[in-house]
Amino acid sequence: MRVVIQRVSKAKVTIEDNTVAAIRNGLLVLLGIVSEDTQEDVNWLVNKIVNLRIFPDAKGIMNESLMATHGEMLVVSQFTLHASTKKGNRPSYIKAAKPEIAIPLYEAFIKSSETILDKTVQTGQFGADMKVELVNDGPVTIIIDSKDRA
């Protein structure tokens, strides 16, 4: 699993001009899944994300986590995170998991996040053509791959 995490002051997802999800003060998580991913990747990545100390403390130092700040989370599936651009100019998405593998892991990621955060996690719609708007706070943007744990 690969994620792009952005600390946001607000973010929303629209589908066909309808807002389907919106948050303030939290994390926008763009989530890419490959066929080799498992529940272990979900568990490790969710724990890593909710405990990342990337929110300012009282002194303005990035020292607080999403858990500590009680911030919100918005998760958007994004298969293009696993694009290969080695050959030519047209990206290949062959590494991205097919829906029969990706959807259950995407849903498990959301459920695990909700359980740990003890709140509803906002989401886009898997496979839909979505428009994502955000105000990146900081800016803070972090990329994490569950296969690069060392």
CATH number of the domain at 34, please. Answer: 3.50.80.10
Q: What is the pLDDT of residues 24-69, one digit of tens each?
A: 999 999 999 999 999 999 999 999 999 999 999 999 999 999 999 9
Residue 93 placed within a domain: yes
Residue 83 placed within a domain: yes
Question: Domain of 111?
Answer: 2-145
Q: Is the pTM of this model over 0.85?
A: yes
Residue 134 placed within a domain: yes
Q: Is 78 a catalytic residue?
A: yes
Residue 58 placed within a domain: yes
Residue 25 placed within a domain: yes
pLDDT attached to residue 49: 98
CA gyration radius, the chain: 15
Catalytic residue among 19, 38, 39, 80: 80
Catalytic residue among 79, 109, 122, 123: 79
Per the structure, the count of domains in the chain is 1
Map residue 58 onto helix, strand or coil: coil
Q: Is 80 a catalytic residue?
A: yes
**N-terminal to C-terminal alpha carbon distance within the chain:** 15
Residue 19 placed within a domain: yes
Q: Are 37 and 105 in contact (CB under 8 A)?
A: yes
Residue 23 placed within a domain: yes
Residue 150 placed within a domain: no
Catalytic residue among 6, 78, 122, 123: 78
In which residue are the tokens 């651009």 written? 85
Beta bridge partners of 13: 21, 132
Q: Is 125 a catalytic residue?
A: no
Measured between alpha carbons, how far is 2 from 41 in angstroms, rounded to an integer?
Answer: 10
Q: What is the pLDDT of residues 55-104, one digit of tens each?
A: 999 999 999 999 999 999 999 999 999 999 999 999 999 999 999 999 99
